[in-house]
Amino acid sequence: MERRQFISGLGYGLLSLGLAGCGLRFSGKSADPEEKRGATDNKQTAAPAAGVYDRGKLIVAEGTDPNSLIEKGFKALGGIAALVRSGATVVIKPNFSVPRKPEEAATTNPLLVAAVVKQCLAAGAKTVKVIDYPFSSPPVCLVNSGIKAAVEAAGGRAFAINAPNFYTQVDMGGKILKDVLFSKDVLEADVFINFPILKHHNATKLTLGLKNMMGLVWDRGYFHRTDLLQGIAELAAFRRPHLTILDATKGITGNGPVGPGPIRAWNQVVFGVDPVAVDAYGATLFGLKPAEIGYVPLAAQLGAGELELQKLTVVKV
């Protein structure tokens, strides 16, 4: 995809505030002195996270009460204590990339995120960090999305990783992604939970868990300048979350990812160790086949997870 097309898709106003501020740098080669101070030169390769839950199972919690949805989901998985041990540092990556309010259904439901923060702290977590790299003004996104208030009320810390010092250079060894500035917080976490919202995206049809991971990379624009779908797939193969929780309570079905757009409610929250499987299930809620979301089969081909839902056990609670 040409950058000009991407600009058109997001809208000029948003772009002027957002991607311009992203810096659009890669491989730590920027002349920006601030970036040089913040980013390290150490290459490292992340081992995929080892899931503690059954990888062949998806848990689908149904309902409308945020606390109940999260409680039911973790209970069906086997309990939060199996994932979060005493003294652990937990990083949660929701989507608060756009300055929309919760009722506009373009960002992860803050009450769901807060419910996960509470569960982690109750299990003994030392710290729970909630992070994203918004397109536009981070302070506005944190406030408008309701994430900051909800997370802090739950005892966690929410912040935007919109400066170079939040990243370190890693060797992803991909065809598209090679030396990449990736989130330090995620690499250093004991537990990493990816927490996307299911919604429309004008460039990839949908944004789900795999695409949500782009908010952990400093130069997100590089994906759009090269091969967006392949880049997302390679990112998925590089660092798998310990758990993906898909907010499919409601989301925009058009004019994404920014919105506003028409909203549909599914009243579901999907829990899974396999990030490809979670996205495959999410695609079906939109009436699409998983293979129609281009980066999902590509990620499966790279070994990031299972595309065929019939090979999985889907448990509704």
- pLDDT tens profile 251-296: 999 999 999 999 999 999 999 999 999 999 999 999 999 999 999 9
Mean pLDDT of the chain: 87
Q: What is the CATH number of the domain that holds 71?
A: 3.40.50.11440
Average pLDDT on 10-28 reads 33
- Report residue 50's pLDDT band, with 50, 70 and 90 as the boundaries: low
What residue type is 186 in one-letter code? Answer: V
Residue 14 domain flag: no
Task: Convert the pLDDT of each residue in 155-210 to its tens digit.
Answer: 999 999 999 999 999 999 999 999 999 999 999 999 999 999 999 999 999 999 99
Q: Quick check: is 79 in a domain?
A: yes
Residue 236 covered by a domain: yes
Domain of residue 184, residue span: 57-316
DSSP 57-106: EEEEEESS-HHHHHHHHHHHHT-GGGT--TT-EEEEEE---S---GGG-S
Q: Percent of the chain scored above 90 by pLDDT?
A: 82
The predicted model gives 298-317 an average pLDDT of: 96
Task: Tell me whether residue 148 is in a domain.
Answer: yes
Looking at the structure of the chain, the number of domains it has is 1
pLDDT, residue 52, reads 85
Residue 12's pLDDT band, with cuts at 50, 70 and 90, is: very low
Smallest Cα–Cα separation from 203: which of 183, 177, 231, 180?
Answer: 231
Question: Considering the domain boundaries, does residue 138 fall inside one?
Answer: yes
Structure tokens at 15: 């772009």
Residue 298 lies in a domain: yes
The answer to the question of residue 293 being in a domain is yes
In percent, the amount of the chain with pLDDT more than 70 equals 84
